[in-house]
Amino acid sequence: MTNGLTNNFRALTACFVLAVSLTGMAGARKPNVLFFMSDDLNTALSGFGHPQCQTPMLDRLAADGVRFENMHCQYPVCGASRSSIMSGLYPYTNGTLGNAGTLRGNMPDVVTMSQLFRQNGYHVGRVSKIYHMGIPGEIIAGTAERDDPHSWDEVVNIKAPEQNAPGIKTNWSPKDKGSQAFVGVEAEGDDLVHADGMAADHAIDFLKRNQDQPFFLACGFVRPHVPLVAPAKYFDRYDRAAMIAPVVPEGDLEDVPQIIRGYKRNSSTYDVTPELHKGLLEAYYASVSYMDAQVGRVLDCLEELGLKENTIVVFTSDHGYLLGHHNKFQKQHLFEESTRVPFIVSVPWMKDRHGEASRHITELIDLYPSLAELAGLEAPDGLHGESLLPLLNDPASKDWKKEVAFTISRSGGESIRTHDWRFNQWNYGRGGMELYDLKNDPGEFTNLAENPEYAERLEQLRKQLDAKRLEAGYIEKNSKKKRKKK
């Protein structure tokens, strides 16, 4: 009887807290949502402690909200991660295990995050890349072939020149001649000539046209996805010679499973010399700064229109990115730089914690239930994430119980990340394992999986991962499907 009364009291308390939060919104109108998503961005933001990359506009947003410094994606590749964010489900459940196919094709009846708002009277728009798009090809063509029409009332596809833009063009990874090479373009023209400037323009237009009704706007920026195109003035912010490459111990990958050690996205694939590496980093950071400036333009418009006090603003990336960390590049690995993303939430009526950071473990699937709760909407049953509201009220809250982030990748890669440990296994446990003591080895340089002193810890984490993968929707057909694709 006592437990029942306690649970009822807790439920009433939670409802009261939500009611107080919602009452604090400006006026009686439903809160708007402005959702920014960058592409292939790791935590290279000055507000997240990066020593070189400059992101003043996102730092300004973080000062008006809460930074989540231990936020992890569910699959470090665009299509799978974005489907997971928009469905609120782990990839094993929504069936999107890469860039192929569509979320709706795998789950015809799914109610996506933006679709929920659409069903509840919001005008919902998409600008540029939210679901997977082939970059740069689909920006050059102005298409979005894997989009989900059920998610939006209106859409804008961006058509821009990408690597064909006039300017100084350099391939910083000369061995790779394909579309994913690290081609930097110090471009001619101003911000509006290129993809993210165009996206910001259309986002501003959407805000002006919809300021008198509740809206949900998802604005996708494609930088810093390659090609690394930005107006020349953003390159001028950086001193190429001063760029600092990640430190990698000699023989770093000798103790990791061959299945991922030999994965092609490495230094030998790209032939990135130390001097080329500096140019690559300069181009990446210039692209980030260009994207950051476009976020600032949209935020300025939000304020000028008087919408800031009633608009929830979210910024994130689809997944992390390796820039020579562990002598690897791009994504689809399970190191910290691949799984961890920048994440900022600004809720204007929850000002007490603005400018603070949460170091609790969180996952991108937590966004969907969070926005639903903040807007007072009933989320669909079965979402895998947890509402971040307790952490928005108190970034160090002891009420936050999530202790594990779960990420999967190519080659049957599966990972759990706790506060102090990371455990990875490959080919669904048949292709080798990795174990890292993050307290003493935050760079994940020493794989302890074969060290007998850590056998008990390894077994504990392996069991934790097995339980998590079942909760995430793993069934044997997933592993068979993946093995067939290899």
CA gyration radius, the chain: 22
**Interatomic CA distance for residues 368 and 373, integer angstroms:** 9
Give the residue carrying structure tokens 């990874």: 173
Residues 123, 132, 325, 384: which is the catalytic one? 132
**Interatomic CA distance for residues 38 and 258, integer angstroms:** 31
The angle, 0 to 180 degrees and rounded to 10, between the axes of the packed helices 78-87 and 367-374 is 30
Q: Which residues make Cβ contacts (< 8 Å) with residue 30, sequence separation at least 6?
A: 120, 121, 122, 214, 375, 376
Nearest to 187 by CA among 124, 236, 149, 139: 236
Q: Judge whether 150 and 104 are in contact, CB under 8 Å.
A: yes
Residues 53, 72, 73, 78: which is the catalytic one? 78
Residue 368, CB-side half-sphere exposure with 13 Å CA sphere: 26
Q: Judge whether 343 and 360 are in contact, CB under 8 Å.
A: no
CA dist 7 → 3, 374, 376 (Å): 6, 22, 21
Catalytic site residue 78?
yes
* 7 exposure class (CB count in 10 Å sphere: 0-12, 13-18, 19+): exposed
Q: Cβ of 1: how many Cβ atoms within 10 Å? A: 5
Give the residue carrying structure tokens 């080798």: 432
Active site positions, annotated: 78, 132
